[in-house]
Amino acid sequence: MAKNHPTEQDFLKMVTAQTKPNDVASTGLSAPAKPTMKLNRPPSGPKISTEELYNQELEREQAKDNATSPARADIFLNELPSVGEVRKVSLNLIDDSPYQPRLRYDPIKLDTLGLSLQTAGQVEPITVRIIGDRFELLGGHRRCRAARSIGWNEIDAYVKECDDFQAEKIALLQNEGREDLSEYERGKVYKRALERGFAKTQTELASMFGCSQPTVSNCMKLLSLPDEIKSFLEATPSLFGTALAKVLFDLLKDYPNELPLLVEGIQRVANGAETTNFRTWFMMKISSRNRGSKKKETSVVTGKSGKTLFTAKVDNGKVQISLGEGIRVDEQTVAKWVIAALRERADQADIE
């Protein structure tokens, strides 16, 4: 061991002793500064293993491969009659699909895509159809945006013949599988596919989109959230997903009158609060409010001697007055006083 230095054991002992928050004072050091910022906690609780993650992904891939429904986007697109080969199309002439369910584009992801277009070139042509003297996108909304952002003038495209009904189906199918489509947007896609008659049941939807029926059901459940909460998702679809929605439905069931508090919680999430501790936050709010109300709403009237004469408690629209021990008046007298006091102020309480 090096000279003039404590041994490993000494060192470890020292670290342990000096840094246990409670022991700091005893070592003569100043007490630890209370963390001024809120420190995020790492997630705790159940999580899947790397094996489970692997198997899940495998299933996902297989489900995709097995989804042989001819309605899948790429097959469907291939079946459409082409107008010539891949060709360069001017980006100025390309319009978005009106059926595009995506509400927002992640600027960072668009940036990355632009960068890869720049370094590696365009690997997959976009797909368009002809509307009048312009083109309408069937697939490749993000590639177009990324290409515009890096200053391209034209882009490789397949030009297909396609009617509105087909175009809508393609837009739905193509976009659903995209990684950054939020669960809320996905829910909207499923709903639209049901409404338009592309599928009749959730199971049919699942096989059409190559996902599981619970996924369809969970995503669509997001659409049945109260409007006050849904408006947040309209603004930021990726604000939260099915996991928090489950918590919200749970809490709504147990506390049907607490929608405003739930909205307040969602506002916090919108401001950057974590979604994982939503329930904890909500329960804390509820319990602290109950505690606060008890304290505030019990008033005590004391005499000159300092003894408690009356206590008044407010509870759910009722006012209860209790008589202190050994006071000289009886309940009837107190009741008369109260009534007299109320009559004096009757005009203040009169119905407008």
Partner 1 sequence: MILTVITQNTTREPLTTTKTFKAQAVASLLGTSGDTVRRDVDEAGIQVQRQDSSIKTRLFSIENIFELARYRAQKNSKRKVKKSVTLTVYAPKGGVGKTTVTANLASLFALMGLNTLVADLDFQSNLTLSFGYDSELSPEEAKDANIPLDQCIEYHIGHLFPNWPTGQIPLDSVIKKPYGACGPHLVPSDVSLDRLDTLLTYEALEGRNAETAINKLLKDGRGGKLPGIDLSQYDIIMFDAPPAKNRVTRSALLASDFVLAPISLEKFSTKAVSYLASVLTEMNDQYGRNPELLIMGNFFDQNRPRVLQQLSTIRSAYEDCWLNASIRRSEDFPKTLSSDEYELPLCLSKPSSIGAADLRVVAEALIKRMGVFE
- Using CB under 8 A, which residues numbered 58 to 87 contact partner 1? 60-61, 64
Sheet holding 94-95, edge to edge: 87-90, 154-160, 126-131, 134-139, 94-95
Q: Which of 39, 340, 346, 351 binds partner 1 (CB under 8 A)?
A: 39
Size of the site for partner 1 (CB under 8 A): 55
In the complex with partner 1, which residue's Cβ is closer, 204 or 274? 274
273-281: list long-range contacts, CB under 8 Å, 24+ apart.
274/40, 275/240, 275/243, 275/244, 276/43, 278/244, 278/247, 278/248, 279/247, 279/250, 279/251
Sheet holding 298-302, edge to edge: 298-302, 308-315, 318-323
Window of 41-49, 83-91, 97-105, 339-347 that interacts with partner 1 by CB under 8 A: 41-49
Rounded to a whole number of angstroms, the distance between the first and last alpha carbons of the chain is: 88
In the complex with partner 1, which residue's Cβ is closer, 154 or 274? 274
Q: Write down the least CB distance from residue 65 to partner 1, Å.
A: 12
Structure tokens at 300: 């005590």
- Using CB under 8 A, which residues numbered 100 to 129 contact partner 1? 112-113, 115-116, 119-120, 123
Q: Write down the least CB distance from residue 320 to partner 1, Å.
A: 45
Q: Which of 88, 104, 134, 178 binds partner 1 (CB under 8 A)?
A: 178
Residue 162 CB neighbours (<10 A): 22
The answer to whether 193 and 69 are in contact (CB under 8 A) is no
What is the rounded distance in angstroms from the CA atom of residue 5 to the CA atom of residue 319? Answer: 72
> Binding pattern to partner 1, positions 220-259, x when CB under 8 A?
---------------------x-x----------------
- Using CB under 8 A, which residues numbered 274 to 313 contact partner 1? 274-276
In the complex with partner 1, which residue's Cβ is closer, 18 or 320? 18
Q: Write down the least CB distance from residue 144 to partner 1, Å.
A: 13
Window of 1-9, 87-95, 288-296, 310-318 that interacts with partner 1 by CB under 8 A: 1-9
- Using CB under 8 A, which residues numbered 11 to 30 contact partner 1? 11-12, 14-16, 18-21, 24, 29-30
Q: Which of 68, 131, 170, 177 binds partner 1 (CB under 8 A)?
A: 177
The answer to whether 149 and 111 are in contact (CB under 8 A) is yes
Window of 43-51, 152-160, 226-234, 305-313 that interacts with partner 1 by CB under 8 A: 43-51
The reply to whether 204 sits near partner 1 by the rule CB under 8 A is no
> How do beta strands 318-323 and 308-315 pair?
antiparallel
What is the rounded distance in angstroms from the CA atom of residue 344 to the CA atom of residue 340? Answer: 6
Instruction: Give 280's contacts (C-beta < 8 A, 6+ positions apart).
Output: none
Burial label, 177 (beta-carbon count in 10 A; 0-12, 13-18, 19+): middle
What is the rounded distance in angstroms from the CA atom of residue 108 to the CA atom of residue 137? Answer: 22
Q: Which residues bind partner 1 (CB under 8 A)?
A: 1-2, 5, 8, 11-12, 14-16, 18-21, 24, 29-30, 32-33, 35, 37-43, 47-54, 57, 60-61, 64, 112-113, 115-116, 119-120, 123, 142, 177-180, 241, 243, 274-276
